[in-house]
Amino acid sequence: MCHITDPIDRALLDDWQRDFPVTARPFAVPAQVLDLTEAEVIDRLARMRAAGRITRVGATIAPGTVSASTLAAVAAPEERIEEVAALIDAEPGVNHNYLREDRWNLWFVATGPDREHVNDTLARIEARTGLRVLDLRLVRPFNVDLGFRMAAKTPRVPAPRRIDRSAMQSGDRDLLQALSSGLPLVAEPYAALAKSLGRDGSDVMRRISALHGAGIVSRLGVIVRHRALGWSANAMVVWDLPAEQIDAAGPALAAHPGVTLCYERRPAEGVWPYRLYSMIHARSRPEAREVLAGASALPELAGVSHKVLFSVRCFKQTGALIKPKEAAA
């Protein structure tokens, strides 16, 4: 059940999660649609951010385009979960960290400007926790554009977008890092962003439009906290099938209603054999299991061994690290 009862707040979250206007005064656009003032739109978004319902109005960056990342996991003893989670969260490059129901129970995403930075992050976590870290590198995405439609039974999933890495220009990394952190909630956010970067506002808007058009910015808009909005029964489902079957199974699974993320990753030899990953975000466990039952019945996945890891707690959820930062002390 959606936790947003105000119809105007719901419309802001429903209709502005992607394709956010790149104009001098972007908040005036939803204001006109919703018959509000620009200040009212900004105030509503600021209140929802303060309440933890949204993380930011900003960008998500297509994985592997301008930075490196990996999904990783550790098996933390029950009595050390809080301690280990805090050590993981302390790393600037960790942008997601979840407790899931499995022996491998802390799952996090490590990001950085290059693969060496990610490797260093994982090495520090291993050294500081004394635990083995599974490094489950992305092979290819089938759907990684996560959005949630409040009024629909299942989230809306757009068609995959072509990515043109050649669109990157000098200065774009700084811009993408700022967008990933979030736009200022002011009347002219792009001008404020440009000022913080020492750049011209018109040029910044032109580059944002170009990067979005090139698919490097995979989504520009309101980034919600799904658990706070009622999507609290969330499960990562991993599928054990050979590499040669991924070509058919990946797209079929990504297109299944209720599957919100889908990608192929490298297995960890002898420890974690799973290659195909999917996320189900649902309002209840029965609803999530209904989605899973439908996915399991797909011809491409019939009889395939899989494991379900329900999320228990979110420790960290931020934008990706694109520019280097000092490692946590």
Q: What is the mean pLDDT of residues 22-40?
A: 97
| Residue (of 73, 144, 72, 101) closest to 311 by Cα position | 101
284 compared with 229, residue with greater pLDDT: 284
pLDDT at residue 159 greater than cutoff 80: no
pLDDT at residue 327 greater than cutoff 80: no
User: What distance in Å separates the CA atoms of residue 314 and residue 310, rounded to the nearest whole number?
Assistant: 12
Lowest mean pLDDT among 145-159, 167-181, 306-320: 145-159
CB-based contacts of 130: which residues, under 8 Å, 6+ apart? none
**Amino acid 328: pLDDT:** 40
| pLDDT more than 70, % of the chain | 90
Q: What is the mean pLDDT of residues 93-108?
A: 96
User: What distance in Å separates the CA atoms of residue 182 and residue 199, rounded to the nearest whole number?
Assistant: 17
| pLDDT more than 90, % of the chain | 70
Lowest mean pLDDT among 129-133, 211-215, 320-324: 320-324
Q: Please answer whether residues 79 and 237 qualify as being in contact, where contact means their C-beta atoms are separated by less than 8 angstroms.
A: no
161 compared with 157, residue with greater pLDDT: 161
223 compared with 133, residue with greater pLDDT: 133
User: What distance in Å separates the CA atoms of residue 67 and residue 277, rounded to the nearest whole number?
Assistant: 21
**Amino acid 205: pLDDT:** 98
Q: Please answer whether residues 56 and 181 qualify as being in contact, where contact means their C-beta atoms are separated by less than 8 angstroms.
A: yes
| Residue (of 276, 2, 300, 280) closest to 140 by Cα position | 276
pLDDT band at 329 (very low <50, low <70, confident <90, very high): very low
- What tokens appear for 214 in the block? 């090139």
pLDDT band at 60 (very low <50, low <70, confident <90, very high): confident
146 compared with 138, residue with greater pLDDT: 138
pLDDT at residue 158 greater than cutoff 70: no
What does pLDDT average to over the chain? 89
Q: If DSSP states are collapsed to H, E and C, what string results for 230-299?
A: CCCEEEEEEEECCHHHHHHHHHHHHCCCCEEEEEEECCECCCECCCEEEEEEECCHHHHHHHHHHHHCCC
**Amino acid 285: pLDDT:** 94
Q: If DSSP states are collapsed to H, E and C, what string results for 52-100?
A: CCEEEEEEEECCCCCCEEEEEEECCCHHHHHHHHHHHHCCCCEEEEEEE
pTM of the predicted structure, to 2 decimals: 0.78
pLDDT band at 1 (very low <50, low <70, confident <90, very high): very low
| Residue (of 72, 88, 71) closest to 80 by Cα position | 88
Surface-to-core class of residue 305, CB atoms within 10 Å of its CB (0-12 exposed, 13-18 middle, 19+ buried): exposed
Indicate the Cα dihedral angle 242, 247, 252, 255, nearest 10°: 120
- Structure confidence by residue, pLDDT tens digits, 203-262: 999 999 999 999 999 899 998 876 656 667 899 999 999 999 999 999 999 999 889 889
Neighbouring CB atoms inside 10 A of 9's CB total 18
